[in-house]
Structure 1
């Protein structure tokens, strides 16, 4: 069984997990959160996770809030382990897709489906319409 972690700045991870429980029910059970608070160093959490990962054969799926943010940068180093997958740019669509489909782990095709679910969940609405880039393309 995969270990799923939501790692963010502040309380976003706890709020995301709360929302996952509301939408996905028991599928969100067992998902862990890490919330970087003021005065904390994400490298401390990196060290804790590194120890767990090095002693485990289970896959670790980590969702981070901001690509290039301090949490992402610290935890990205965990990809040195073949059993670690890290996503950045956390969305509810991403978290829901992982909660519902990734309990037994992810391969490359499943990881791509997670990214697609996250992308499809992002839209812009203006003037009473959904702005769709694909319709604007001429090719």
Structure 2
């Protein structure tokens, strides 16, 4: 089974999961971990997740917020876990695509493709003000 864990500083993980559930409906295989909001050490939360939510044969995709950040570093001991993928810099388009992937499609190549597409969704739109209507017409075939 495919399992997805979003782990971030503060409430960001819970918030982005809330958005996913609003868009796609409740997702049973989607988990979040808010770091540093309670007294439970992050490494303990991670260990509990793997012990109770991810069987050895499960494909696990872990999303974190900051590359090299403390949340990202807390997962280092799981880097060699079989069928486990790590992606940092989580955003909504990236997470949406990952959630909609079939388990058999979860490959390094496919995940890299999704990461690339999600980067293309980051756009400074002030330069697009006068082009907005034209772009909308193209996108929606108006």
Classify 1:103/1:16 alpha carbon distance in 2 versus 1 (closer, same or farther; 3 Å).
farther
Instruction: Answer yes or no: is the 8 Å Cα contact 1:2–1:105 preserved in 2.
Output: no
CA distance in 2, matches of 1:55, 1:103: 14
**Which of the two has higher C-alpha Rg?**
2
CA distance in 1, matches of 2:107, 2:5: 17
Written as runs of structure 1 = structure 2, the 5 A alignment for 1:36-75 is 36=35, 37=37, 39-51=39-51, 56-75=56-75
Q: Deviations over 1:59-84 (max 9, x none)?
A: 11111111111111111331111221
- Tell me the equivalent position of 2:33: 34
Structure 2 spans left out of the alignment, 5+ residues: 132-142
Q: Deviations over 1:92-121 (max 9, x none)?
A: 011101111144461122111221222111
The CA RMSD measured in Å over matched residues stands at 2.4
- Does 87-96 or 45-54 show the bigger shift? 45-54
TM-score (norm 2): 0.78
Structure 1 spans left out of the alignment, 5+ residues: 131-139
**Which 4+ runs in 1 deviate beyond 6 A?**
none
